[in-house]
Amino acid sequence: MLMSTMSSPKLTRKDFVSDQEVRWCPGCGDYAILAQVQKVMPELGVARENIVFISGIGCSSRFPYYMNTYGFHSIHGRAPAIASGLKAFRPDLSVWVATGDGDALSIGGNHFIHVLRRNLDINILLFNNRIYGLTKGQYSPTSEQGKITKSTPFGSVDHPFNPASVALGADGSFVARSIDVEAKHLQDLIRRAYEHRGTAFIEILQNCNIFNDGAFASLTDKDTKADHQLVLEHGKPLIFGKSRNKGLRMRGHSLDVVQLENGISESDLVVHDENDSALAFMLSLVGPPEFPVPIGVFRARQRPAYETALAAQMQSAIQRQGNGDLEELLSRGDTWTVK
């Protein structure tokens, strides 16, 4: 029998572009995220028929339509639950969830934390624009206190969720943050998310130019971003600023911003460690006005993936009991008769 020596054709970004018209508002940050995902997908070496994008409800949830892969536009907040079921019984698939700050952290909050603690090998991209865009500008779970919107005309009194902190609190094994317009940075995190075995979560700060324009302007403007971004790199000191003259130092049990002057040098700064859960959580909490916004990987550590443990458990049960006896299963344990 002759074996074919022909290799599979090399895929390009165009192969992952669907025939659907992209229907986001002109200038929306979703376009930038879509472009980076489509650029990275060919590099992963996964056939399109083995990739699935699952979404809930919201502007970001149109994502599956625009990827030339399998996809599922599900219901509000339930994308992690559907992704969990798919990955548990088709572990060979590369499963991705596209969600927003409202979809994931409001009605979907419970599903979000449980997929993280279970640690299925799926990848979650959370588009955080701090607003409800699809329903025309109500405040979201990540909107800052005092935010004036159509549903909070006198300003929101809610304390906002911090997506990275929530993910770390749920013991997410890979937690990261990027920005829609930081193309190379976002591409690198998407690659790392795919390579991670377990639930990989990336919060993507994203501009809604219609209902919350400029929410992250200080992080994206060329003149200011160096002083407002803290790029996390494993094994490197926490340093930032246009002149690389500022950094984070540990003072007691908390972080402190210092200037590299008057005897303070890089050796005095905290060195980032992706395995340090305490440091990861501290970094997830810092931000304006006292601190820069950290972007990069907060924590990356390996622990068993849920679907692997599930498959092992099922195999063990089969080996012990063969194909099983349904009647025995139903009558095992505490039973009673109703007269």
- Over residues 79-97, mean pLDDT: 97
pLDDT at position 220: 96
pLDDT at 8 over 80: no
Q: Which two tokens stand for residue 60?
A: 């970001």
pLDDT at position 330: 74
Helix (H, G, I), strand (E, B) or coil at 98: strand
Domain boundaries, the chain: 13-232+297-308
pLDDT at position 232: 98
**Global pTM?**
0.93
- Over residues 45-71, mean pLDDT: 97
pLDDT at position 333: 77
Task: Choose the CATH number for 13-232+297-308 among 3.90.180.10, 3.40.50.10470, 1.10.10.10, 3.40.50.970.
Answer: 3.40.50.970
- Write the pLDDT tens digit of every residue in 158-214: 999 999 999 999 999 999 999 999 999 999 999 999 999 999 999 999 999 999 999
Answer yes or no: are the C-beta atoms of 132 and 102 closer than 8 Å. yes
CA distances from 273 to 22, 255, 270, 297 (A): 39, 14, 9, 9
The rounded distance, in Å, linking the Cα atoms of 294 and 230 is 4
- Over residues 19-36, mean pLDDT: 97
| Burial degree of 197 (CB within 10 A; 0-12, 13-18, 19+) | middle
| Closest residue by Cα to residue 234 from 279, 179, 171, 198 | 279
Q: How far apart are the first and last CA of the chain?
A: 67
- Write the pLDDT tens digit of every residue in 256-289: 999 999 889 999 999 999 999 999 999 999 999 9
pLDDT at position 1: 39
Selected residue with higher pLDDT from 309 and 8: 309
pLDDT at 334 over 90: no
The rounded distance, in Å, linking the Cα atoms of 34 and 76 is 21
